[in-house]
A and B are shown apart, each in its own frame.
Chain A
Amino acid sequence: MIRGLYVAGEGMSARQKAQEVLANNLANLNTSGFKADRPVFQAVYERQIYRWEGIGSTPIGTLSAGAILSTTFTDFQAGALQTTGNPLDVAIEGQGFFAIQTPQGVRYTRQGAFQLNAEGTLTTREGYPLLNAQGQPIRVPRGTTPQIGEDGTVQVNGAPIARLQIVQGELVKSPDGYFVGNPAPVANPRLVAGALEMSNVNMVREMVNMIELIRAYESHQRVVQTHDETLGRAINDLARI
């Protein structure tokens, strides 16, 4: 009986963590360049169950001890494009990430909302410089506005001054909200200037997944209640005189 309690409890805990993942996705419904996370459940602790037969035991099968949230994987599907008209907003069509320099090292992002800082360097909204194909920040002359072409070239007054670094590879989310990994350059990137990539969170999907989670959670709760009742009967009523 106790085993069932823990299995149900574990299930509820896993669903709760999955709910947190969903809540984070929904919170980022409007975050440009955000990639949704999907919770992955895994059945665990498969144990052999034996039947005690006096002088030995016979295996009668396996019993899983429930499910845990084993990992979350990031869904890298492209989000919809939103035209903003701002020449420093860039979206990547197809695969690829921008490279930026943060104090913790090189990071990657799909969020192309760039601006010029006081020295004329192209940076993200937080001030981290955007890197060119050689891994260096891109600086434009004071007072000019760069134009970002479809293939990633940055032009000032018609003359190309740099090429954006667009990379693709196995990337994972890092705690600072960007992606980290060891990607390789993309051969023919396709960029769209004047547009931003929206979050790829699909509200309908998240709501449906949430419905499933809630119902599963409630079913586990019923299981816990049933175990509790049965235990109560065993403890309180069986030996009633």
Chain B
Amino acid sequence: MIRALHTAATGMETQQFNIDVISNNLANVNTNGYKTVRADFEDLLYQTLRPAGANVAGGAQVPSGLQVGLGARPAATYGLFTTGAIQVTGNPLDMAIEGDGFFKVLLPDGAVAYTRDGGFKLDSQGRLVTSMGYPLEPEIVIPPDVEQIMIGRDGTISVRRGGQDGVEEIGQITLVRFVNPAGLNRIGMNLYRLTPAAGEPIEGAPGTNGLGEIASSSLEASNVQMVDEMVRLIMAQRAYEVNSRAIQTADEMLAVAKDLKR
């Protein structure tokens, strides 16, 4: 009976973790480029009271052993990298990736980070930077006398300077994609960092090598599906409740055992 108490407790803790993950998804339902996370669970170790296949007296073999599990625990938080809805914003510096790939940015300590959030801005030197000021890599600098910026689907950046009629190319966006994007490490600020689990970065121009194309003047919305999250929330809550029932039942049975001697 005491075993059931702790087993059900792990069940409740697991659902608590599930709700933590779901509530983070819901908190990021309006975060550009956010990729929803799903918590995966696994069962805990089993106590083998009689192993399957053991020989018993008389030469018979036990067909199915006697094992009791000890609960559940979170196994992984898996990011789902489906493309979110593309919203046209009209801001010429906004970019959305239609398909696979990440923008590459440089962190202050020189390390490389990746993001799907294409809401870039200009800093005081005219560089294209993220909302936190991290520059795009390779660096794109917009000259101060530019009147119009055009970003093509293949990532070429063209500008029309003030007083002139022609457009000139001033840079090229490169995207990076991974075999296993769910293996990237999330560090907040809509950024991901490389880990060995993600695989080797596959770099290139948008539209080449399996990389998606750039939709300019648009942003990719969060790919959180509210309906899915609400359904998972309901399931987590009911699982939590039903595990608490298991604890209550185990408690009541302990009380009955205690009351054998009145």
Contact = CB atoms under 8 A, between A and B. Distances in A.
Contact of A208 (B6, B255, B258, B261): B6
B9 A215 contact: no
Interface residues of B, number: 15
A218 B5 contact: no
A222 B5 contact: no
Contacts of A212: 2, 5
A222 B256 CA distance: 12
User: Which of A204, A207, A219, A222 has the most CB atoms of chain B within a 10 A radius of its CB?
Assistant: A204
Contact of A222 (B2, B12, B250, B258): B258
A204 B261 contact: no
Given A219-B258, A222-B258, A204 B13 contact: yes
B258 A204 contact: no
Given A204-B9, A204-B13, A211 B247 contact: yes
A226 interface: yes
A225 interface: yes
A75 to B, nearest CB: 14
A84 B111 CA distance: 28
Contact of B261 (A207, A215, A226): A226
A interface secondary structure, majority:
helix
A207 B13 CA distance: 12
A225 B261 contact: yes
Nearest to A220: B258
Interface string A213-241: 00100110010011000000000000000
B28 to A, nearest CB: 14
Contacts of A215: 251, 254-255, 258
A205 interface: yes
B131 interface: no
Nearest to A208: B9
A174 interface: no
B16 interface: yes
A225 B262 CA distance: 9
Given A204-B16, A208-B6, A222 B251 contact: no
Interface of A: 202, 204-205, 207-208, 211-212, 215, 218-219, 222, 225-226
28 contacts: A202-B13, A204-B9, A204-B12, A204-B13, A204-B16, A205-B9, A205-B13, A207-B247, A208-B5, A208-B6, A208-B8, A208-B9, A208-B247, A211-B5, A211-B247, A211-B250, A211-B251, A212-B2, A215-B251, A215-B254, A215-B255, A215-B258, A218-B255, A218-B258, A219-B258, A222-B258, A225-B261, A226-B261
Given A204-B16, A218-B255, 20 more contacts: A205-B9, A205-B13, A207-B247, A208-B5, A208-B8, A208-B9, A208-B247, A211-B5, A211-B251, A211-B254, A212-B2, A212-B5, A215-B251, A215-B254, A215-B258, A218-B258, A219-B258, A222-B258, A222-B261, A226-B261
